[in-house]
Structure 1
């Protein structure tokens, strides 16, 4: 009579190298390989974006610190000029000095000319530097700035 096919036992199935049953669909292993490569690419892309984000945050933090140092230098140098004006109004022979702060220092030098004073205020904070030179003149009992100049690269 006709040959009947007997049901296969679990031991008759094809087994892959890894001990898993092989599929009867021939392209399934290729699809699984493609999906694995796709997952690796996505993980790599996410890791790259994370590293780029970290560098962006660090560079912005550095920029903010540098800007803070520049602004601090401006205000400290201007404060030094006000200190010079106040000191010269009480002591016309004052020749300058140094104001110290926890992280910074303001250096003032004063040169007396015939009619006015040449004052240089220097500050260094972090990588920022500021050097301002002014000419002060006493008029009607008040000391006024007659010339203001920021000195760069000196």
Structure 2
């Protein structure tokens, strides 16, 4: 019986405690209502454009080209007797267009007698033959 005497008042106090209404938060002045529509439509890209660039995992030109080929879903032909280490200027290569990225890479490695280009939907790395390389540069400049 003694427990019932104490239990009843505690339940009543508990119920009154739950009945209190908390104060609404004071919103800052920068608060804007949801779904406020703009005056003009804005295009939102549904797919992210891929960027061809060098990552920390790339150590050599061949590794870089193999990764780019995989990302572009293209085969690669590495027709040169040497592979080359990457050096700091390649970090500046960042393009959404693989042709441009390969051209920039070719410009950096021109002293090593190697050129990079796409031919028949295949990424090619080959020893520079003056006639072939000049022909490629001529086609790109037009």
Q: Which has the higher contact order (CA 8 A, sep 6+)?
A: 2
Same fold (TM over 0.5): no
Determine which structure has the larger strand proportion and give its number. Answer: 1
TM-score, normalized by length of structure 2?
A: 0.23
TM-score, normalized by length of structure 1?
A: 0.22
Higher CA-based Rg? 1
